[in-house]
Amino acid sequence: MYKLEVATNNDKELLIKYKLATILDYCRDIDNEEKEKINNYVQKTITQQINNYQVIKINNKIIGCLLLENYEDGILLNEIFLESAYRKKEIGTEILTNILETNPKVYLWVYKENEVALNLYKKLGFKIKEITETRFFMEYSK
């Protein structure tokens, strides 16, 4: 069973690692200058939003993170990350299901290439609202 805890400054480097992994997994064909811009962006945003992050723990070990933010008439699941060893074990599905049960409207962005997540979101009832070159913006509404 997982638990969520508010992230602290002690978690900052791990959150940076998680966010960079999420972005760089789906932005492979970029040059070093662009990678540096992404790194600077991630450092800045994690520092600014550290208190909004939650770490996902199992047996007191951090295995991922979650970032929820108020957005229009609902919440934005701005980020969810699980370490690879904890994927495909229903943890992410359980977290998402709990979020959907307590929030009438949930929005999120997903990379088009992330077919596993995209299929899960569709299965849970998310609908595509907007399409960009690399991502889908999706909405869940009760």
* Domains parsed from the chain with CATH numbers: 3-141 (3.40.630.30)
The pLDDT of 75-82, averaged and rounded, is: 95
Provide the pairing of β-strand 127-131 with 61-71: unpaired
**What local confidence, expressed as pLDDT, does residue 24 receive?**
82
Q: For 5-19, how does the pLDDT look when each residue is reduced to its tens digit (9 = 90+)?
A: 999 999 999 999 999
Token output for 80: 């969810």
With a cut of 90, say whether residue 28 has pLDDT above it: no
Which positions ≥6 away from 22 have C-beta within 8 Å? Answer: 79, 81
Per-residue confidence at 72, pLDDT binned at 50, 70, 90?
A: very high
Length of the chain: 142
Task: Give the per-residue SS3 of 72-108.
Answer: CCEEEEEEEEECHHHCCCCHHHHHHHHHHHHCCEEEE
% the chain with pLDDT above 90:
85
